[in-house]
Amino acid sequence: MDKILRIQMDGPKVSEGPLGDYAGLGGRAMTSTIISKEVPPLCHPLGEDNKIVFAPGMLSGTASVMSGRLSVGCKSPLTGGIKEANSGGQAAQVLARLGYAAIVLEGKPKDDTLYKVFIDKDGVKITEDNSLKKLGNYDLVEKMKADHGDKITCMSIGPAGEMKMSAASIAITDMELRPTRHAGRGGVGAVMGSKGVKVIVLDDTGMKIRSPKDPEKFKAANKAFTEGLKKHPVTGQGLPAYGTNVLTNVINEAGAYPTRNFASGQFEGVSKISGETQAETETARGGLATHGCHRGCIIKCSGVYNDKDGNYLTKQPEYETVWAHGGNCCIDDLDAIALMDRMDDDFGLDTIEMGVAIGVAMEAGLLKFGDAEAAINLLREVGKGTPLGRILGNGAGITGKVFGVERVPVVKNQALPAYDPRTVQGIGVTYATTTMGADHTAGYAVATNIMKVGGDVDPLKPEGQVELSRNLQIATAAIDSTGMCLFIAFAILDQPETFQALVDLLNGFYGLSMTGDDVTELGKSVLKKERDFNEQAGFTSKDDRLPAFFSKIPLSPHNLTFQVKDEELDTLHNW
């Protein structure tokens, strides 16, 4: 992982070079550093001056468990600020083994020609291929398998990315070569589409696993790290058994499950779409309730969802997806939710943004809450690119403006995920203040507010929430830079020895002597670059706010509003 690949799309032209100023960086640290240094903050996100960066983490491509996360960075067409979208799948491991610390797509084609990029140990080949236009991700991957065999990994866009929709994602194939893992948030798929690239095909055949500087230290740290993850109740039991949807009953019970477009905190049909019900359904139909999305995953929180006839339909829908297309829209049909998940993956769409956009459309009266068939039909409109589909495909914020809806749950124009900030006050702070727009993963305060991981901060009170979110945002930026799955946070927050094992993994691999404080400083440095970029792009403290209705309209069943004051929010980045 000692080089950066740059592809100038107005040629296209390919160049490779040493890391230079970017040496020692990986994942989110790499993407955000390149974007903050090389992209004009005021540029048009779909213009030639924007860049899109694909970066494996510092530990990707090694024997370390859980190290296969990919960071995708650009200026976001959804938020107008800096963006890092994080994905599982095989791409990070393969990119790292091919020796690339980053791939950077630059410039813009002179016409609407569509390109395929193929990368293996022998180099890079770019070909024009307009036969790929408007293909869904599933058909696209089948075509790539026919052309290049089944030892490949794909990073691709569906029709939504080609149409440059602000909710467009980038699909990453899993171990079975299915396009089920997505760099979902912020419209990164639209930026890839603006570069004229339909798919990047990777093949690491003949490449070796990355070797550590201190093999014995690295091996011992990996063993300790693995043991720590396996003994923690969340990463060792809950997530493997029921996937991320294990949270549905928990969050609903806490009164924090946004229902009917954030009008209520509990959904009466929740038992029909819970993680427990989902796992039972998958097992009964011959699917899988436990599955890893990339090599080296030991948490295995994914799965395989089959239809009523026992045929593969989609991967196990994630908690956020089940909520967005389910409880948020008052839909309690798992099969309908799974079909929408499949459609989102195929069209190349962020499931959170699309589910919230449909919820806003329901509030506007375009369809009734609970009408699964109508929701599916709306999603088809997005895939076709009809005028209505293009409105929805550009996100909840645009949908709310077009149809005159007041209750539009977005921050920096990005849709809120599946935790209501009135009942989980800490996640509300994260939504408001993260550089990414509303994003639960940027500082997952739910862990401490609800699950009591890493301490106990009362979710219903404003006290302590800013400090909690600040510390989690710093830690998350660092984790995203290592290539580690964010779910390791549960164990490292509760187990000091597991956190030390993570530090020892980095030290053993790179021959360093980092401390925990150094990891903290890494996270701070990433956030500072992102914050500086956003300020130069025109963001102010007024953008670090939740929509006003969260502070004005109480949420049942606790009948609370969001209570953290603006002046407190403005202190979050003071460390």
DSSP letters for 301-324: BEEEEE-TTS-EEEEPPPHHHHHH
Q: At 290, list the tokens.
A: 């436990």
Residue 158 near residue 348 (C-beta atoms within 8 A):
yes
Q: How crowded is residue 224: how many other Cβ atoms within 10 Å of its Cβ?
A: 18
pTM: 0.97
Q: How far is CA 88 from the centre of its chain?
A: 9
Asked if the bond preceding 18 is cis, omega within 30° of 0, the reply is no
Which letter, b or e, does each residue of 393-415 get, where b requires 16 or more Cβ atoms within 10 Å of its Cβ? bbbbbbbbeeeebebbbbbbbbb
Which CATH class for the 257-420 domain? mainly alpha
CATH topology identical between 3-202 and 257-420: no
**Which CATH number does the domain 3-202 belong to among 1.20.1050.10, 3.60.9.10, 3.40.50.2300, 3.30.390.30?**
3.60.9.10
| CA triple 77-81-87, angle to 5 deg | 75
Residue type, 310: G
C-alpha to C-alpha distance for 458 and 464, rounded to whole angstroms? 8
In angstroms, what CA-CA distances link 12 with 72, 108, 126, 195? 21, 9, 8, 10
Q: 61 and 1 in contact (C-beta within 8 Å)?
A: yes
Q: In whole angstroms, how far apart are CA 423 and each of 368, 433, 457, 558?
A: 26, 17, 12, 7
**Where along the chain do its domains lie?**
3-202, 257-420
pLDDT at 575: 87
How distant, in Å, are the alpha carbons of 90, 115, 141, 145 from that of 201? 11, 11, 9, 10
pLDDT in the model for residue 295 = 83
Q: Judging by beta carbons within 10 Å of its beta carbon (0-12, 13-18, 19+), is residue 131 exposed, middle or buried?
A: exposed
Q: Is the separation of the CB atoms in 257 and 270 below 8 Å?
A: yes
**DSSP symbol at 208:** P
Check: CB of residue 273 under 8 Å from CB of residue 248. yes
List the chain pLDDT tens, one digit each, 575 residues. 799 999 999 989 999 999 999 999 999 999 999 999 999 999 999 999 999 999 999 999 999 999 999 999 999 999 999 999 999 999 999 999 999 999 999 999 999 999 999 999 999 999 999 999 999 999 999 999 999 999 999 999 999 999 999 999 999 999 999 999 999 999 999 999 999 999 999 999 999 999 999 999 999 999 999 999 999 999 999 999 999 999 999 999 999 999 999 999 999 999 999 999 999 999 999 999 998 988 889 999 999 999 999 999 999 999 999 999 999 999 999 999 999 999 999 999 999 999 999 999 999 999 999 999 999 999 999 999 999 999 999 999 999 999 999 999 999 999 999 999 999 999 999 999 999 999 999 999 999 999 999 999 999 999 999 999 999 999 999 999 999 999 999 999 999 999 999 999 999 999 999 999 999 999 999 999 999 999 999 999 999 999 999 999 999 999 999 999 999 999 999 98
Q: How many residues does the chain have?
A: 575
Distance CA 378, CA 383 (A): 9
Tell me, what's the pLDDT at 294?
84
Of the candidates 208, 224, 276, the one whose C-alpha atom is nearest the C-alpha of residue 248 is: 276
